[in-house]
Each structure stands twice: as structure tokens, then as C-alpha cells.
Chains A and B, each alone.
Chain A
């Protein structure tokens, strides 16, 4: 087993400490940070994401794996800062105004982070102007909105309109989700995509950004 396989295996098993040590060793041996990220950390995480999607793993196990990946990333991230490998893309995410539901949005954030995206979580009850501010400040590739109530889902449209007014709509892809949301509704409000659950959100983002599981453009 080479060092990259060892890192991937430790990530897959959710071993934070072992992952950290293996990454440290790989760096000491002169392995390129980009290879550690892709051939080690991401490879391990992707294997887990597939198992989770096919119902072979539970979320708590994925969280442990995400923790291991994060532990490994603490050494690699500073070395990749400013390069095209620093993140697969930035996602601003939030539950829309008037809606306090948290957990679905949090699940999506976990899945996206696990897939290598940088997630800026704006929380719940987020007004349109806050989404706009975040887009201006963070310059994300994706904006994700969640709503769990029939009486708050229309605020998603308000956010899209606010982004249009500020000429920011063309800069981002918009994804939506939540119990009352459907693909038809996403089309109606001119969102770019709808994720039916947290598990499919990362695939949707990848497909919108036209990248593969390693963040490489297709």
C-alpha cells in the first residue's frame, strides 16, 4: 500500500489521527500537496460518498469520515492556498426568510464539504439581501437555498430576483431543495437545479460546475 492508499484508507475508516499522521509523513517525504489531496484524501472520501449513496453507510459514519478528511486537510490546505486546487468551488447556502428549519440544509452542507467544496453557511431565516451580500462578498460558484414551508418557498424566487437586480445572477448557479420543493418549482423560479435530498446535492453541484469527483473540469 503506498502512502496515498494509506491516506485514502484512513479517511475511509474515519480515522482522524491516523489520517493526520499519514498526511504529515507524506509531506515530509516530499509528496506534492495536490497529489495528497486528490490521490489520498478525496479518493477516500469519494469511496465513502458512493457507499453512502448506495445505502451501505449511515450519516454518522460519513461524519466521522468527513472529520478525518478535515483533519488531513489542515496540513494540505495552507499549501494549496491561492492555487486552483484550494477548493472545488465555493457554495453559499442558507434557509430562506421566515423559515427556521436547519437540519436539511446542514446535511447538504456536510455532503458538499465532504465532496471538497467550500461551504459558507448563512444559517436559517436568511433574507434576500443577506444572500446578495454573501454573493458579493464570497463570490461563490453556487448558491443553495432551502425551504421547508409552503409559505416560505416563494422567498427563493425573491432571492433570485434580488441577484438579478444586482446583476449577480449570471455569476452563480442556484440550487434549491426542501420538502415542498420540486423540479417543476425549481424551473418555475428559474433556479438552475433541484436536489431531492442531501445525498444528491453534491452530484448536482458537480454537474452544474461540469466537474468530476476530483474537481477536474469535464
Chain B
């Protein structure tokens, strides 16, 4: 069962960083209660992850966590979020991820007891269900291992449960490369169906382990398009429309019971915050250590957690890279929070917005008025298909208007793409069933439809 949102949680003036409509408190940490909190993530330097190296791997995670906690304490940061994103091998062997979770939890508890540093641990198993081609989203051994990873890590001391789920990616990957909106929408429908399946189970594990079902991200879709646009492979206007549509997909986690904070790399979280009122994690300029973007400031406009996305455990001039990231995030958060304390939150938000919004279509659709318009469209009446089509059309309309009024720069070579997308969207049929019928054959090699929980009539009509 999916909860349906009918109204937005914020208006333009109240959609601010650090303030959620439904703040979340656990272990003394309140997210979305007025302050932006740093969320740190890290990964291993080049090394093998296998049974024989697990002791070294665990030591290294401990080293990274100890380093960031120590720096947070030294800089008078009173609360932090640490994300442990399991590597594929650790999800395939749930005991490995569990063992590291125990070590991290113990260290975080030590810092709380000794130094008063409050923290929450986000656990993110990797979506390993793509190993088979076509991916086995429901029936494979990988699905069991993935859910077992969630369960074990939650019991071992995780607080927040998250994932970057990849349902529908077998369709969206080629569709991004071809700038094919029809394929993006079809992949979104697969993603929505998969999210419903997955998040029903993650929420059940959260209930069973008294942890928090935090949220998902369409990173594999929205950020793939963003990175390809940054490299000049696909138009930025296309990546902007893809981003808007990912809102439909990622919302399903919250409709299925997630309560935030949404995962950092989901730039669509801005829409989800406006809809659900739950706190969201965002990443921007201080995540340049992981990937480039055109959203460095604007991504912070509505952030409740501020993240570095990920950084390798390597030595920089000042210290180890995760510690460097921690310091950068803390200073960013100080600025957010002092602005809010001095009642400049709205002005500061608008500065973050205005410094990016006119320079890139992907930033333009994250302006407060665009966020609210798109969020309203995402929850408009209708099924996921209708919502996706309407959201894509709305995003195109916002971009077209922005270009017409000169509010957003459109690279010259992208000039014809708004019209191309409009035509593609106008050609779409009016119902999901009709759409399925039209698209089913084109994807039947790439997709095992039995791995998606569509209602029978969809499948039958689709065939």
C-alpha cells in the first residue's frame, strides 16, 4: 500500500535548509529541526576486498571514522551523520558488512560517551540485484542477500536505512545515452514498481529492528544523466527533465513508509522535501571530491544534512581526505546555521539559489518556484505514468519559459532540444496500458518483466 500525498508541506518562503515539517530525532540528534548537520561518507583506497583482507578493511573503516569524529569534536561540532555504504562484496557477504557496522557503532558510541559527540549511522547496502542480465529484482539470491544485509547491519547498530536502488536501470541507461524521454518514462515505471517492492521490505526490517527507513535515490538515473551532460554527451536540458521525473520514482520510498532523511545524491530530494515535509540530505560543492555538478550552491538551499557524497581514504597535504571533507562540511554547516540564527535563512537560501540557477538548466529547475510547481505536478492525480508524463511536460515548460525570458542560459547547441522533447512528450499515449503495449516489445530482451510487481492487467495488456 502506498500512502498518497495530496498537498505540499511547504510554501516558497518556508522551504528552507535545516527546517523539515516532520523533523526526525534519534540518539539525541534532531534532523530538520533548525540546524544543518554534516553527513560524511568515505570509501577505501585502491585495494582488494576479500575474506583475507577483511581485517585490514575493517581497521581502515575504523581509522576513517575515528579521524572524522576527532576532527568534528575539535571543531566543536556537536552532531554528525556517518554513512557506511557497503561495497558489493560486503553486501554479497552480509557478515562482512555486519562486522564493520559493529566496529563503527562501537567507535561512535565511544566518542559520544567520551566527548559528547552525537551521531547517527546511515547504512547503505549496495543494490547487487544487477549481477544477472536481465537483472533479477525479486527472485534472485542477491535479493535475499541484500535484505539480509539490511537486517544484519540494522541489528549491528545502524540507525538509518538507505539504498541507491537500481530498478529500471536496464531501460534508463540506454535511454539516457539516446536522450530518449519515452525510455526514461518507461524505466521510471519499472523503478516505481521495484521501489514499492523493495521499500515495503526495508520498512518491515526497520520496524523489526527499531531503525529508521530513511530513503532512496535515483542516482543511477538522474546523476548518470547529470554526469553525461557535464561531459557534453547529452543536453543539459534533457538531464534537467530527467531529474524532474526522478522525483516520481524516489517519492515511492516515502509513499511506502520511508521517513527521511533522503539519501544525499538524490538531487530530486528537493521535490520530496516539498511534498513529504521529511528532512533530506543533499550534496553540492563539497561533494566535488566525488563528482562534478552544476548545482554546488543551489543543492544546499533546502538541505537538512549536507554531505560530501564520498571520498577516498588517501593522504592530502593537511591530512587524510575523509577528515578534510569533514572539516569542509562543518564550515559549510556553520554558515548555514549562523545565517538561520540571525534570521537570514531566507536571504541565504536565495543567495544559494541565485548564484547557480541562471547558469544551468539543471539548477534552474531547483529554484523554489520551480520546485513547488514540479512537486505539485508529481503528486497530481493519476498513476505513476500520468505523473511522469506531466512532470516531464512541466519541466520542459519551466525551462522553455526560463529560456524565453532569459532567466537561464541555454548552450547554443541545445537550442533545438526543448522542441525535440516537447514533440517526444506530445507523442506519448494517454494511458499507462497503451504505453506498455507500445514499449513492451522494445525492452523484452533487456527486462525480465516477471521481476517487477506490476498488476496482472498491466502485464497482460502490455503483452
Contacts and interface: CB of A to CB of B under 8 A. Distances in A.
Interface of A: 55-60, 63, 98-100, 102-103, 106-107, 110, 123-125, 149-151, 153-155, 180, 185, 197-198
Contact of A55 (B44, B177, B232): B232
B178 A63 contact: yes
Given A55-B232, A59-B234, A154 B48 contact: yes
A37 B431 CA distance: 45
B177 A63 contact: yes
Interface residues of B, number: 30
B75 interface: no
B318 to A, nearest CB: 21
A32 to B, nearest CB: 34
Interface in B136-190: 173-174, 176-180
Contacts of B312: 150, 180
Which residue, B128, B173, B177, B413, has most C-beta atoms of chain A within 10 A? B177
A126 to B, nearest CB: 11
A97 to B, nearest CB: 10
A150 B177 contact: no
Contacts of A56: 413
Nearest to B57: A151
Interface in B105-133: 128, 130-131, 133
A158 to B, nearest CB: 9
B89 interface: yes
B49 A106 contact: no
B131 A125 contact: yes
Given A58-B413, A123-B133, A150-B45, 16 more contacts: A58-B234, A59-B177, A60-B177, A60-B179, A60-B234, A63-B178, A98-B49, A103-B224, A106-B173, A149-B87, A150-B312, A151-B43, A151-B46, A151-B89, A154-B46, A180-B46
A197 B180 CA distance: 22
Interface of B: 43-49, 87-89, 128, 130-131, 133, 173-174, 176-180, 224, 228, 231-235, 312, 413
A79 B45 CA distance: 51
A59 B228 CA distance: 9
Contacts of A198: 233
Contacts of B413: 55-58
Which residue, A99, A102, A110, A155, has most C-beta atoms of chain B within 10 A? A102
Contacts of A180: 46, 312
Contacts of B43: 149-151
Contacts of B48: 151, 154-155
Given A59-B228, A59-B234, A103-B173, A150 B179 contact: no
Contacts of A60: 177-180, 234
A58 B235 contact: yes
A76 to B, nearest CB: 25
A104 to B, nearest CB: 10
A12 to B, nearest CB: 16
Given A58-B235, A60-B178, A151 B128 contact: no
Contact of A150 (B46, B133, B173, B231): B46
A103 B219 CA distance: 13
Contacts of A153: 46
Nearest to B128: A100
Nearest to A98: B88
A100 B177 CA distance: 17
Contacts of B228: 59, 103
